C-alpha cells in the first residue's frame, strides 16, 4: 500500500507541476448603465460614469481547454445624477475581485486561444469626493463618501495570443453584473433606486507563463 501511495503522490505532484500558470498586467476602461430614480416627479437617472480600469490576472490551466483565473481590477467610477440638462458628479472608484472559469476553444498547444469566461466575486463601490452641504439634484439622491460591497457575476470572453516561449498578449471583455449600491448613491426620502448594473469592461494585457 505504501509504494502505491508513493507512486500516486509522485504522479499527482508531477501533474500539478505540469500545469501551466500565467500572470498578466491588464488595463482598459469601462462603461456602466444608469438606472431611473423611481418615484421622482420628473425624469432622473443615477449611476456611475465611465473610466479607466487596471489590474492583474493570475491563471492556471486545469485541463487542455479549461483554466481558472483570479482577477483584481481598480476602476475609476465617478458617481453621478442626471435630470434634464443638469448633472451632479462626485469622485468615486470601484475595486473588483473575482474568479472565472475559462473555456478555451483550442488546446494549450495552440498559439491563439479564444475563450468564454464565467465566474463571480465581489465589487466594492466607493465614493471618494468631498461632501458638501448642498449639491445639485439632492432632491433626487445623495452622492455619499461611503463604501459598499456587492456580490458580482462575471461573464465574457477573450483571446490569448502567444508572443514568445513565455510571453503572451491577451484581449479580454467582461460584463460585471451587480445590484445597485443604494448606500453609496442614496435615494432621497420617498424615492427608490434599485435594479441591475452592467459594467462593460474591455482590457488588453501582457502576460508571462511560469
Which pTM was predicted? 0.86
For residues 101-126, average pLDDT = 95
Q: How far apart are CA 201 and CA 31, in angstroms?
A: 7
Chain-wide mean pLDDT for the chain? Answer: 91
**What are the chain's domains?**
21-203 (2.40.160.20)
* Centroid of chain to Cα 30: 9
Q: Which three cell numbers stand for residue 65?
A: 481547454
Condensed to tens digits (0 to 9), the pLDDT of residues 55-72 reads 999 999 999 899 999 999
Q: Are 119 and 100 in contact (CB under 8 A)?
A: yes
Q: How far apart are CA 49 and CA 55, in angstroms?
A: 19
Q: How many CA atoms does the CB half-sphere of 192 hold within 13 Å? A: 4
Condensed to tens digits (0 to 9), the pLDDT of residues 150-168 reads 999 999 999 999 999 899 9
Q: How far apart are CA 103 and CA 116, in angstroms?
A: 5
Q: Which three cell numbers stand for residue 24?
A: 498578466
14 in helix, strand or coil?
helix
Q: Which three cell numbers stand for residue 158?
A: 477573450
Query: Which residues touch 97 (CB under 8 Å, ≥6 apart)?
Result: 70, 71, 72, 121, 122
Amino acid at each position: 500500500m505504501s509504494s502505491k501511495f508513493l507512486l500516486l503522490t509522485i504522479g499527482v505532484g508531477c501533474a500539478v507541476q505540469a500545469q501551466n500558470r500565467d500572470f498578466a498586467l491588464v488595463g482598459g476602461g469601462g462603461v456602466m448603465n444608469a438606472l431611473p430614480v423611481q418615484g421622482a416627479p420628473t425624469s432622473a437617472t443615477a449611476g456611475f460614469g465611465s473610466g479607466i480600469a487596471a489590474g492583474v490576472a493570475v491563471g492556471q490551466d486545469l485541463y487542455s481547454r479549461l483554466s481558472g483565473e483570479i482577477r483584481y481590477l481598480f476602476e475609476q467610477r465617478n458617481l453621478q445624477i442626471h435630470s434634464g440638462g443638469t448633472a451632479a458628479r462626485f469622485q468615486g472608484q470601484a475595486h473588483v475581485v473575482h474568479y472565472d472559469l475559462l473555456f478555451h476553444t483550442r488546446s494549450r498547444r495552440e498559439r491563439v486561444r479564444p475563450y468564454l469566461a464565467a465566474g463571480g466575486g465581489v465589487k466594492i463601490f466607493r465614493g471618494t469626493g468631498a461632501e458638501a452641504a448642498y449639491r445639485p439634484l439632492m432632491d433626487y439622491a445623495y452622492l455619499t463618501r461611503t463604501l459598499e460591497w456587492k456580490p458580482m457575476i462575471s461573464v465574457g470572453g477573450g483571446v490569448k495570443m502567444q508572443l514568445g516561449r513565455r510571453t503572451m498578449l491577451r484581449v479580454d471583455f467582461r460584463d460585471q453584473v451587480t445590484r445597485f449600491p443604494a448606500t453609496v448613491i442614496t435615494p432621497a426620502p420617498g424615492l427608490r433606486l434599485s435594479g441591475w448594473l452592467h459594467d462593460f469592461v474591455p482590457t488588453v494585457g501582457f502576460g508571462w507563463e511560469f
